[in-house]
């Protein structure tokens, strides 16, 4: 997900600043996010943070299911971040 690299890259990204109307979110909403998880390589996983990918999918409206194994990362239940 090149369009989301600034939201999921290790030591660079932040999933909290992704906007629903951003190019990243447009790509995420159009994508099969389950398939993307299955295609992540070890090289990909060394460059990104999977929990950030999960947050981005949620903030963009194409959530990965709780309990799903995304490239070795088990998706936890959503948290309530409304207090932040």
DSSP per-residue string spanning the chain: -GGGHHHHBTTT--GGG--TTSHHHHHHHHS-HHHHHHH--HHHHHHB-HHHHHHHHHHTT-PPPTT-EETTEEPPPPP--TT-
Q: Is residue 24 part of a domain?
A: yes
- Range in 7-21, 39-53, 64-78 with the lowest mean pLDDT: 7-21
Asked if residue 25 has pLDDT above 80, the reply is yes
Residue in 74, 83, 43, 81 with CA at minimum distance from that of residue 65: 74
Its domain, for residue 21, covers: 2-74
pLDDT value of residue 31: 98
Asked if residue 26 has pLDDT above 80, the reply is yes
Q: Is residue 84 part of a domain?
A: no
pLDDT value of residue 13: 82
Q: Is residue 9 part of a domain?
A: yes
Q: Is residue 18 part of a domain?
A: yes
Number of domains in the chain: 1
Report field, pTM of the whole predicted structure over 0.85? yes
d(CA 22, CA 42): 27
Q: Is residue 79 part of a domain?
A: no
Q: Is residue 80 part of a domain?
A: no
């Amino acid at each position: 997900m090149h369009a989301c690299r600034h939201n999921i890259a290790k030591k660079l990204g932040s999933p909290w600043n992704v906007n629903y109307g951003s190019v990243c979110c447009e790509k995420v909403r159009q994508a099969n996010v389950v398939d993307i998880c299955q295609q992540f390589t070890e090289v990909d996983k060394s460059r990104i943070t999977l929990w950030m990918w999960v947050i981005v999918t949620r903030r963009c409206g194409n959530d990965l299911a709780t309990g799903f194994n995304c490239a070795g990362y088990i998706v936890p239940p959503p948290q309530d971040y409304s207090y932040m």
